[in-house]
Each structure stands twice: as C-alpha cells, then as structure tokens.
Chain A
Amino acid sequence: MKFRLHLYLILALSLSGCFVRLPTGDMTSGTSTIPPTLKSSDVTTPKEKTPLRVFCAGSLIRPFDELEKAFEALHPEVDVLMECHGSIQVIRHVTELHEKIDVVATADHALIPMLMYATTDAETGEPYAEWYIRFASNRLALAYTPQSRGADQIDEDNWYNIIPQPGVRLGIADPRFDASGYRALMALRLAEDAYTQPGIFNNVIQGRFKHPINIFEDDDFTEISVPGILEPKPDSGILTRGASIQLIALLQSGDLDYAFEYESVIRQHGLNWIKLPDAVNLGSEANNPQYNRVQVKMDFRRFASVEPVFKGEQIGYGITIPTNAPHPDLAAKFIAFLLGPEGRRLMEANFHPILKQPVCDQAPSVPPELGSFCPGELSP
C-alpha cells in the first residue's frame, strides 16, 4: 500500500512539475556555480573574493598549485579554484557539461581547435574558444619503483621486453580521456621503428583488452583505433585510469610495476624512470616527421558526437580562455602570470619544460593583454 502511495506521489509531483517549470530541457545550464552578479558585488563588498575557475590537465597539477598560491598572493581579491582532470575531460567540462570556466589548460593543444573551436555554445552562438597559446612541452617516460618487478634489470634498451612479461603490471591512462593515454599508444608504435623491433605494440597491447585496440599499417603511416569501450581483460596485467596522475598512487602502493607518465610528473614524485629516446618520447621538435607518421583514432560511433583523431607530434600544452568565461580579464592576467618570469620559474622548478617562445594559434583573436606573447603575429 505504502509503495503504491509513493507511486501516486511521484506521479503527482511530476504533474505539478509542469506548472512550476521544472528545469528539464535546460538541465545543462544548471551546472554553473558562479552567480553573474559577483563582479558588481565585488566593488561594494571588497571582502568577497572573485572566483577564478582554472581547469588544467592532470599533469599540470603540481606547478599550477604553486601558481595558484603565487597568483593569489599577488591578487588577494581573487580565489583561484583549480580542478584538474584528463585533458579531454577538462574540455568536456566546457563543451558538454556547459560549465562556466575561466581558464582551460590541456596537455594537448590540438584538442582546443578540435573540440572547442568546432563546438558552438548554444547560449552565445559562438564557438567555445577562438584562440589558444601553446606554452609548454613534456616528454613521455616509463615510471617505476625499486619494488617493481624487473626493476633490477630494466634499462633504456630492454624496457619493451620487460613490460609485456606475464606478471608485470603496466598502467596506461585511458586514451579516450587523457592525452597521455593516446600518447603512450603512439610511443609504443614509435618504439618499433626506433629500436627496429616490430611487434612491440602488439606484445604490450594486443589481446589484453576486452575490445581490441586495432592497428592499421600503411607504407609510411600507422593508425591506431581505440574502441568506444575500453576495459582491460581480467588478469591481463594492464590497468587504465581516467588520468595518468591517478596511476601514480597505484605505483606507490605496489599495485603497478610500470606506468607511462610525463617526465615532469615522474620527477615531481621522485619515482624511478626509464628515459625514452627522442624518437619515442614525443618531446622533441626535431623528431616531428617521425611522430607525424602515427595517429590515434577514437572509434566513438556509439555516442554519435565527434570522432576525435590525434596526430602524432611533439607534445604541446595549450591554454585558452573559453568565450563564455565569467572573468576573461582576470583569466588573461592569470595566463600572463603563467607565461611571465614567475610562472616560468615555477614550471621549471617542477621539471616541466616551458617553451622559450610560446606559439599562438589564431593570434588576431588573442586578448590584447596576451598579445606580447605572440610576436610572430597573424600566422594562422
């Protein structure tokens, strides 16, 4: 009886919802947490801090934490709210969840045109971003601990034989959500050429996921196709997580032996690591022609949205201010601070290679406060 009463209640509520206008069709805008009036209240009540929402790639979490503190010390009226995820997730917070974010920093600059230029904000009718600045690089490496299986034998010339061994547990960021994930797949394929050892990719990856990651070889070009569902087989020895930084804890707890990570992150955590050759680590501009021969495609037909394709190239971190950012002026100040001497120092103190000369995409659209970082001007 009671249960039936509940049903009536639900029915009645849903009917009454028609009159009080439930936020059904407009669910998406509900995620914004920043009241639009905050800026004006800022003037009248100086104690109220202006929130600056900064979303960054997981691999930037350490330097950006320090950047946050330094920036807040300089601007006491600002409260920097940092949130870090896998790079693709960072962007989806803007384009899919429609959150109002001030600064977006991703580990792959190519994601910004692919996912933000190409998507229009229904509220403003503009694309979610119109420019970005490539500001940092990194190198991919293989992290491990002294307790890792095979730690006493592994070196720069045999790592690809150790990680596929039975009983060795390897961590890779999920390539569907994190740039480090698809870069690890590229690195495994690039290693085949660098060491002239065909089969490295297949040894490490094939047969270990419930739905296979397929690799298509052409004469001078390789495409790796990642399925929409990516789950390691039980006992396959492979573990995936949504962002590469989540693998660090599993390395430390001894539940992973090796993990593909960025060099900066590895050194921040004081882990052991195998340095990968330039032809593999995706960190050298000179090796771009080699990197370009590999690409990773996401086979996401089941979700009918974009099917992202990631081209192999030197790792480039990109930063932008979404067009719907609530505080674009402050956001520009934050980016200028990052690209200035203090930000540069903090990045380097965290072993994160920052570009000597940032590269601007769509320079004419870059806010004037940041124009000084784009001296090359008007290059497309």
Chain B
Amino acid sequence: MFVALPLVSTMLATTPEEIRQTLGDPEVLQSLGLTFLAGALATGIAILMGLPLAYLLARYRFHGKGIIEGLMDLPIVIPHTAAGIALLMVFGSKGILGSALAPLGLYFVDTLAGIVVAMLFVSLPYLVNMSRESFALIDIELEHAASVDGASAWQAIWLVTLPIAWRGIAGGALMMWARGISEFGAVIILAYHPSIITVLLYERFVGYGLSAALPVTVVLLLFVLFIFGFLRYFLLPERT
C-alpha cells in the first residue's frame, strides 16, 4: 500500500491527453532513450568487468578479499551526491582518470561517458553481489566433473557454471540497470547535460512546475513498469 499509493495517485493525476502529448515530446523521448542507453552501457561494462570479479570472489580465497567485498558495498552506503563529488574529483578534467583520458578525447563532465560512469559507480554492487551469491550456490564439484570429462577450465565455467548461474546474473543485471536509470544525485553533479530522464524531470518540476512534471513522471513510470515487467517475465520466469 505504502509503495503503490503514491504511484497510483500520480497515474490518476494526469489526463490521457497530457500523456499522449508527453509521448510526442522529443525532449522527453530523447532523454528516455539516453537514460536507457546509458543504463545499458553501464550494465554491459559491469558484466564484462564485474562478472569475473564476482566469480573470483565466489570461488577463491585471497589476500584482500574482504577489502574488495567491503569496497563493493561502499557505493550502496555512500550518499549519491557525495558519490558524484567523489567521481568529479577523479573524472573531472583535473582528476587522475579525467586528465589521463582527456588526450583520448574522453571527457566526463556533461557527457554520455560521465552519465555511464556515475550509473556504473552507484549500481555496480547489485550486479557483482547478486552474481557472486549465484556463483557461490553452485557446487564446485560440477566444474570438477566437467574437467574430468575433458572440459577446459574456461569451458567448465562457460558451459556449466554460467548457464546455471544465469538467473542470478540476469537478476543482478536487471537490478543494476534499474538502479542505474533511476540515478539522480551522482549524475547531476558529473553530467547535468545531456539530461537523463531524472534530471529532466527535476528540471521540469522546479523550472515549470508540477503540471509540467506530472505527465513526464507518469510516462517514466509506465516505461519502467513495462520494461521491468517484460524483462522479469521473459528473463526470469518462475522456476517450476
């Protein structure tokens, strides 16, 4: 009730006509596209780089493992505006990475790259943690059995572990993507423009008022509900 009430009352506060107009508003559509794209890019990068880390954390003991696990939880507990400032210190033009990557033409302040970095930072833990748990649940004997049958270590992971861990990884990726696209605090500090949908929504709210912000809110809710429901339904069917 607590969760549903604000959502439902927001939905009911707009007219279909307003929603139709908003769906035809190029600024809103571009912003939605940009947001989903940036969230997908962040998730993609996380799958490439975070999945091996999740596997390592699940399978091996090594020095500093506790530290890495602690670090992985940090973005969840850091307030996001603070995360944004921290990212600005690193990815800003005078920051370590910002100044190192600038010669390659990669800038982070007010660019898509900045949005992706902010989303990646705040949402990476969801993917890593959920995938790690999913890997840890799989008996290592299965990989050993595959090795005995002649599979290489890579084949054992690729053909045995990943397919079984798939549900957890996909769930983690979905959570990460959802968390990424809903990010505001860190993104607004690093990249106010191009405006992702949460920034646009805030801008409409403070700049033009409630009547301008409501239809965008509803369209955003509808999009997210639809995509989230769709992905949940097809990617993660109930186990029978």
Q: Does A311 contact B (CB under 8 A)?
A: no
- Interface window among B47-55, B58-66, B168-176, B190-198: B190-198
Instruction: Point out the residues of chain A lying under 8 angstroms from B13, CB to CB.
Output: 24-25, 27
Given A3-B233, A14-B11, A255-B93, A239 contacting B209 (CB threshold 8 A)? no
- Interface window among B71-79, B153-161, B178-186, B200-208: B200-208
Q: Does B8 contact A (CB under 8 A)?
A: yes
Is the Cβ of B88 less than 8 Å from the Cβ of A253? yes
Q: How far is the CA of A2 from the CA of B239 in the complex (A)?
A: 12
Q: How far is the CA of A249 from the CA of B107 in the complex (A)?
A: 17
Partner of B4, one of A13, A23, A229: A13
Given A231-B195, A232-B193, A255 contacting B206 (CB threshold 8 A)? no
Q: Does B141 contact A (CB under 8 A)?
A: no
A237 to chain B, nearest CB (A): 10
Is the Cβ of B194 less than 8 Å from the Cβ of A234? yes
Residues of A within 8 A of B (CB): 1-3, 6, 9-10, 13-14, 17, 22-25, 27-28, 85, 88-89, 92-93, 95-97, 147, 176-177, 229, 231-232, 234-235, 239-242, 249-250, 253-255, 300, 303, 305
Known: A24-B12, A239-B109, A253-B93. 13 other contacts (CB 8 A): A22-B8, A27-B13, A85-B206, A92-B209, A96-B210, A96-B211, A177-B206, A177-B207, A231-B195, A232-B110, A234-B194, A235-B107, A253-B94
Given A17-B8, A27-B9, A305 contacting B109 (CB threshold 8 A)? no
Instruction: Point out the residues of chain A lying under 8 angstroms from B206, CB to CB.
Output: 85, 89, 92-93, 177, 242
Instruction: Point out the residues of chain B lying under 8 angstroms from A253, CB to CB.
Output: 88-89, 92-95
Q: Is the interface of B mostly helix, strand, loop or mixed?
A: helix
Is the Cβ of B193 less than 8 Å from the Cβ of A239? yes
Number of interface residues of B (CB under 8 A): 40
B182 to chain A, nearest CB (A): 19
20 A-B interface contacts by CB (under 8 A): A1-B238, A2-B238, A3-B233, A9-B4, A10-B7, A17-B5, A17-B9, A17-B12, A24-B12, A27-B210, A92-B206, A96-B210, A97-B210, A177-B206, A229-B27, A232-B193, A240-B192, A242-B203, A249-B85, A249-B88
Instruction: Point out the residues of chain A lying under 8 angstroms from B110, CB to CB.
Output: 232, 234, 239
Is the Cβ of B88 less than 8 Å from the Cβ of A23? no
A170 to chain B, nearest CB (A): 12
Is the Cβ of A14 less than 8 Å from the Cβ of B1? no
Instruction: Give the residue name and chain of the B residue nearest to A18 (CB).
Output: B12
B91 to chain A, nearest CB (A): 9
B98 to chain A, nearest CB (A): 8
Instruction: Give the residue name and chain of the A residue nearest to B99 (CB).
Output: A254
Q: Does B212 contact A (CB under 8 A)?
A: yes
Instruction: Point out the residues of chain A lying under 8 angstroms from B207, CB to CB.
Output: 88-89, 92, 176-177, 242
Q: How far is the CA of A241 from the CA of B4 in the complex (A)?
A: 34
Partner of A305, one of B5, B111, B208, B233: B208
Instruction: Point out the residues of chain B lying under 8 angstroms from A303, CB to CB.
Output: 208, 212
Q: Does B33 contact A (CB under 8 A)?
A: no
Is the Cβ of B94 less than 8 Å from the Cβ of A24? no
Count chain A CB atoms within 10 A of each CB in B192, B205, B212, B238 and give the residue with the most: B192
Q: How far is the CA of A288 from the CA of B93 in the complex (A)?
A: 40
B95 to chain A, nearest CB (A): 8
Instruction: Point out the residues of chain B lying under 8 angstroms from A28, CB to CB.
Output: 210
Q: Does B232 contact A (CB under 8 A)?
A: yes
Count chain A CB atoms within 10 A of each CB in B93, B206, B209 and give the residue with the most: B206
Instruction: Give the residue name and chain of the A residue nearest to B189 (CB).
Output: A249
Given A24-B13, A253-B89, A147 contacting B94 (CB threshold 8 A)? yes
Instruction: Give the residue name and chain of the A residue nearest to B233 (CB).
Output: A3
Instruction: Point out the residues of chain B lying under 8 angstroms from A176, CB to CB.
Output: 207
A98 to chain B, nearest CB (A): 8
Which B1-26 residues have C-beta < 8 A from chain A? 1, 4-5, 7-9, 11-13
Is the Cβ of B12 less than 8 Å from the Cβ of A231? no
Q: How far is the CA of A249 from the CA of B85 in the complex (A)?
A: 9
Is the Cβ of B88 less than 8 Å from the Cβ of A255? yes
Instruction: Point out the residues of chain A lying under 8 angstroms from B192, CB to CB.
Output: 239-242
Q: How far is the CA of A28 from the CA of B211 in the complex (A)?
A: 10
Instruction: Point out the residues of chain B lying under 8 angstroms from A93, CB to CB.
Output: 206
Partner of B1, one of A1, A13, A255: A13
Q: Does B229 contact A (CB under 8 A)?
A: yes
Q: How far is the CA of A298 from the CA of B18 in the complex (A)?
A: 22
Given A3-B232, A255-B92, A13 contacting B193 (CB threshold 8 A)? no
Is the Cβ of B5 less than 8 Å from the Cβ of A13? yes
Which 4 pairs show the lowest CB-CB distances between chains A and B? A96-B209, A254-B94, A253-B92, A255-B109
Q: How far is the CA of A234 from the CA of B207 in the complex (A)?
A: 22
Count chain A CB atoms within 10 A of each CB in B109, B110, B189 and give the residue with the most: B110
B36 to chain A, nearest CB (A): 18
Instruction: Give the residue name and chain of the B residue nearest to A11 (CB).
Output: B8
Q: How far is the CA of A28 from the CA of B233 in the complex (A)?
A: 36
Q: How far is the CA of A255 from the CA of B89 in the complex (A)?
A: 10
Instruction: Point out the residues of chain A lying under 8 angstroms from B210, CB to CB.
Output: 27-28, 96-97
